[in-house]
Each structure stands twice: as C-alpha cells, then as structure tokens.
Amino acid sequence: MSRELSPIDKAKFVAARRAVDFVEDGMRVGLGTGSTAAFMVRCLGERVQQEGLRIRGVPTSSRTAALAREVGIDVVTLDEARWLDLTIDGADEFDGDLNLIKGGGGAHLQEKIVATASDQMIVITDAAKEVETLGAFPLPVEVIRFGWRATQALIGEVLVGMDVLGRDITLRMNGDAPYVTDEGNHILDLHLKRIGNPRQMAMVLNQVAGVVENGLFIDICDRVIVGHGDGRVETRDINEGTSEEVRLEFPEESNLFNDLTD
C-alpha cells in the first residue's frame, strides 16, 4: 500500500475489501459516507479499473460522489437508479441485532433513504464499533433550520419519558458556524449514553415537528463485516444466522490510496 496504515485503518480496509466481493457486474450499488466507506469506494474503483466491473453507484453525500467519480465509478442519482441491489456503508455503532447508529459524518438522511431503497445493506466496520447497547455514540438528529431551538426543546421533553441515561442535546458545529447538511439542515447530537429501546426512540423522534430524520437504523442492515488490524475479517449474516472469518493480505502498493485522507 502506498502509505503505512494504522491498525484501525487496516481494519477498515480489510472490511471494505471483503465487502466489495459481494458486488456483481451490473449491480446498482449504494455508496456510503465516512472514512470506512471511503475505503470501500476506492476498492470498488480498483475493481472497475482492473476487472472492468460495470456498476452504477448511488452516493449518499456530495463528497462520496466526488470520490466515486475520481476512481472511475459511474455515478447516478437514486431517482435514476430507482431501486438498488446493494448498499455498503459504515456505522458509528452496531449491536448484536445489527441495529445501528449512523450520522457521525452528517449524511444519515441520504444514507437511510439509500439503504432502505436497497435489497440488501452491508455494514463495514471495525471491532471497536460493536456495543452491547446503543447510545455511547451521540445520536444525530437532522432538523430543519427554521425553529431549530423549538425542535430541540421538544426533543428534550420527549427524552424525559425515554429509557436513556443522558439527555444533553448539542447543535453540531462546523468551526464557529452550525454544521449544514447537503440538504441545508442542521444536526442535533443527542448524548444519551444508553438507549434502552432503540426502536421506540426512532419512532418517537420522527414524530417531533422539525425533525427530518434520526440516525437509528433499525432492521435495515443484513450483514456486518468486521475488520481487524491483523487482516482478519468476520462476516455476520443476520438473516442466515451465520458467521464466517477469513484473513486478507494487505497490498504492498495501490495508487488508489496515495491521497487517502479520510
């Protein structure tokens, strides 16, 4: 590989490398957002360039779209694709039922739309993202900018009756200004520490006026691929109830990784 990767980056890389094995010629593929998903996009780009793999990629953010085009993937919109065969994305947390928290990269709205418009969703991650109970990672909630303080107050009232350990809510910032999503919205991060009932939480939050979407992905993920720094990769299939482990080698050199900064 063109530069030495940290153990965590090696774990992300081998998970991404294993995931792209599930992509077949002619597929319409949802392309996730974030550091792990960036490895996946680059691995797909290698297959496109080296094997002539023909796919259409639907990116979940403007930065993923730019990277996909850079590595030679044919990029289309979800409206053009209409439905997807597979989505591959990362996660900030996942539990034993493959429920997820996503949105650390600020793209969970598009990510959820793309994932739910797919026959399958594969999550690629490292072992540190697995938790017994979701909630240690702040839960992102995308809200419209108009009246966001009122929306924040309403969410705070809702949290009083929920099974959580914390109720702090912060507006996500980008330097000195509020973070703005690709859709022009803000993100509120809910510091809950523990979410006792993720399904209930997801449903209740989306009933609050001003909330566009939350970062809980419930019953959406079909497989999780967990990478390790020594090259081991574990694939768990929630539908088949199976788990298998393989070991992958790290390539000594790859031009696609020369400028990797995610």
Q: Is 105 annotated as a binding residue?
A: yes
Cα separation, 230 vs 27, in Å, equals: 31
Q: Is 261 annotated as a binding residue?
A: no
Catalytic residues, by residue number, are: 111
Q: Is 10 annotated as a binding residue?
A: no
Q: Is 36 annotated as a binding residue?
A: yes
Q: Is 64 annotated as a binding residue?
A: no
Cα separation, 95 vs 201, in Å, equals: 15
Q: What would the DSSP string read from start to end of the chain?
A: --SPPPHHHHHHHHHHHHHGGG--TT-EEEE--SHHHHHHHHHHHHHHHHH----EEEESSHHHHHHHHHTT-EE--HHHH-SBSEEEE--SEE-TT--EE--TTS-HHHHHHHHHTBS-EEEEEEGGGB-SSS-SSPEEEEE-STTHHHHHHHHHHHHHTSSBS--EEEE-EETTEE---TTS-EEEEEE-S-BS-HHHHHHHHTTSTTEEEESEE-S---EEEEE-TTSEEEEEETTTTEEEEEE-PPPS--GGGTT---
For residues 40 and 32, is the Cβ–Cβ distance under 8 A?
A: yes
Q: Is 254 annotated as a binding residue?
A: no
Q: Is 235 annotated as a binding residue?
A: no
Q: Is 231 annotated as a binding residue?
A: no
Q: Is 34 annotated as a binding residue?
A: yes
Q: Is 193 annotated as a binding residue?
A: no
Q: Is 90 annotated as a binding residue?
A: yes
- Which two tokens mark 241? 């109830």
Q: Is 12 annotated as a binding residue?
A: no
Cα separation, 82 vs 118, in Å, equals: 10
Can you say which residues are annotated as belonging to the binding site for substrate?
33-36, 89-92, 102-105, 129
Can you say which residues are annotated as belonging to the binding site?
33-36, 89-92, 102-105, 129
